[in-house]
């Protein structure tokens, strides 16, 4: 006797369908899934965990989503100036629209300047329920930014990239202790133009000293690196460890000066590898660049063993570029390493050279390149 089992996604409980929706973008849910049948229309209508990303959206889709999705059902919102037309529309209705996001938990801003905060009266809204805030390419001063942060007292996660006059550990410490009691994770990448004396390490010490208090080191365990590259005069870089930039372009220069509250001094290309390797062995999670998707290392001068040890910290890489490495022409080793450790790597660019005696040039070259002709 044969049992006929009728398998259909329509038979799934609404709760399970909502769990599936948690992993699908809002445009796909609304414009594709919703139109399949009446059942899906009903399931989408009751879904209350929409993640709206307005970073790249057409004008027509923007209007449809704003009209059709109840703001009370949105838990995450991303806004950007990268697509000016659609976001100008959003900013024009921002005050009314924002006030309806009563369940919003996370906001991400890209390239938003202080004028848009104040012109659109966003500072009049208190985001009491917000627990996560990300601002990339921040254009505000520390005064303006902290004024906005007063509206977000429940934050547990804060990430900000760029900003002006942000390098003041004592001021951040006082502000966080007084206003952001629940903040567990603070990631930033700041740069600032200021005059550097003929003793750059002394200047870096003065800057980083305010991040060496018990608040930063013991209570929060937020570690930072302060860096000055003499090839880029008058620019100071200060960032949390691990680095929170999704793109990292490391160009080795012996004239780089760097100090870290994590006791890392990275002053040339081989030392950054050795220091990361040392930290990896002593604490296997503290220095992982788990969010890093792109890595470029130019003028690289360190053994392949140390390079691979460093790459173990970058397990999410999609793109890797290496130039001028020595003794790197071992395709089998690269194949094994990438297969085992860099599962998401899609593009690998390199320029290597190797000093070795050549007797019969075409034959020797064939032997070398033949190892790169595998199915991998």
In the DSSP assignment, the letter for residue 233 is: T
pLDDT bin (cut points 50, 70, 90) of residue 246 is low
pLDDT in tens, 168-214: 999 999 999 999 999 999 999 988 876 665 556 677 788 889 999 99
Q: If phi over 0 gives left and psi between -120 and 50 gives alpha, with beta otherwise, what is residue 323?
A: beta
Stronger pLDDT, 224 or 263, i.e. the higher one:
224
Strands 235-241 and 319-326: unpaired
- For position 273, what pLDDT does the model report? 46
The model's pTM: 0.64
251 SS3 class: strand
pLDDT bin (cut points 50, 70, 90) of residue 299 is low
Helices (H), 112-248: 114-119, 142-149, 169-179, 200-208, 214
φ and ψ at 296, to 5 degrees?
Answer: -125, 125
Q: Is residue 277 predicted with pLDDT exceeding 50?
A: no
Lowest-confidence range among 188-192, 240-244, 337-341? 240-244
For residue 218, count other CB atoms closer than 10 A to its CB: 8
Mean of pLDDT values over 265-286 = 42
pLDDT bin (cut points 50, 70, 90) of residue 304 is confident
Lowest-confidence range among 70-79, 179-188, 199-208, 227-236? 227-236
Contacts for 181 with CB less than 8 Å, ≥ 6 apart: 153
What is the b/e burial string over 165-197, where b = at least 16 CB atoms within 10 angstroms of the residue's CB? ebbbbeebbebbeeebeebeebbbbbbbeeebe
Using an 8 Å Cβ cutoff, are 280 and 312 in contact? yes
In the DSSP assignment, the letter for residue 111 is: S
Lowest-confidence range among 122-136, 272-286, 294-308, 321-335? 272-286
Task: Dig out the tokens for 93 from the structure.
Answer: 């209705």
pLDDT bin (cut points 50, 70, 90) of residue 286 is very low
Q: What is the mean pLDDT of the chain?
A: 77
Mean of pLDDT values over 67-93 = 69
For residue 161, count other CB atoms closer than 10 A to its CB: 19
Dist. CA 100–CA 6, nearest whole Å: 42
Q: Is 357 exposed, middle or buried (0-12, 13-18, 19+ CB in 10 A)?
A: exposed
Using an 8 Å Cβ cutoff, are 227 and 236 in contact? yes
Using an 8 Å Cβ cutoff, are 136 and 110 in contact? yes
- For position 143, what pLDDT does the model report? 86
Stronger pLDDT, 62 or 175, i.e. the higher one:
175
Using an 8 Å Cβ cutoff, are 64 and 90 in contact? no
For the chain, give the percent of residues with pLDDT over 70: 70
Task: Dig out the tokens for 56 from the structure.
Answer: 């790249």
Stronger pLDDT, 308 or 157, i.e. the higher one:
157
pLDDT bin (cut points 50, 70, 90) of residue 148 is confident
Using an 8 Å Cβ cutoff, are 228 and 256 in contact? yes
Mean of pLDDT values over 96-116 = 74
Dist. CA 110–CA 116, nearest whole Å: 12
Dist. CA 212–CA 216, nearest whole Å: 6
- For position 226, what pLDDT does the model report? 85
């Amino acid at each position: 006797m044969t049992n006929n089992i009728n398998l259909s996604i329509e038979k799934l409980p609404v709760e399970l369908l909502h769990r599936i929706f948690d992993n699908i973008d809002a445009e796909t849910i609304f414009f594709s899934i919703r139109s399949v049948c009446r059942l899906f229309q009903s399931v989408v209508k009751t879904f209350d965990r929409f993640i709206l990303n307005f970073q790249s959206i057409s004008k027509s889709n923007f209007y449809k989503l704003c009209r059709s999705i109840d703001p009370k059902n949105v838990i995450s919102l991303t806004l950007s100036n990268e697509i000016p037309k659609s976001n100008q529309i959003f900013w024009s209705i921002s005050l009314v629209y924002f006030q309806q996001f009563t369940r919003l938990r996370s906001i991400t801003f890209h390239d938003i300047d202080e004028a848009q905060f104040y012109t659109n009266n966003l500072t009049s809204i208190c985001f009491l329920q917000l627990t996560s805030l990300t601002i990339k390419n921040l254009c505000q001063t520390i005064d303006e930014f902290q004024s906005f942060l007063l509206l977000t007292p429940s934050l547990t996660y804060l990430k900000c990239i760029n900003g002006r006059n942000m390098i003041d550990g004592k001021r951040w410490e006082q502000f966080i202790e007084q206003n952001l009691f629940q903040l567990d994770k603070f990631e930033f990448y700041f740069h600032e133009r200021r005059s550097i004396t003929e003793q750059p390490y002394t200047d870096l010490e003065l800057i980083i000293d305010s991040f060496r208090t018990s608040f930063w080191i013991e209570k929060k365990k937020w570690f930072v690196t302060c860096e000055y590259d003499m090839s880029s005069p008058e620019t100071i870089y200060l960032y949390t460890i691990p680095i929170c930039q999704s793109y990292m372009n490391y160009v080795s220069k012996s004239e780089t000066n760097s100090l870290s509250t994590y006791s890392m001094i990275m002053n040339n290309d081989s030392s950054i590898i050795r220091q990361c390797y040392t930290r990896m062995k002593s604490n296997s999670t503290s220095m992982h660049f788990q969010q890093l998707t792109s890595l470029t290392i130019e003028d690289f001068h360190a053994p392949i063993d140390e390079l691979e040890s460093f790459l173990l910290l970058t397990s999410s890489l999609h793109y890797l570029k290496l130039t001028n490495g020595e003794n790197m022409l071992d395709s089998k080793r690269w194949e094994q390493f990438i297969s085992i450790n860099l599962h998401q790597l899609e593009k690998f660019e390199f320029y290597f050279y190797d000093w070795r005696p050549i007797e019969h040039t075409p034959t020797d070259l064939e032997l070398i390149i033949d190892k790169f002709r595998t199915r991998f």
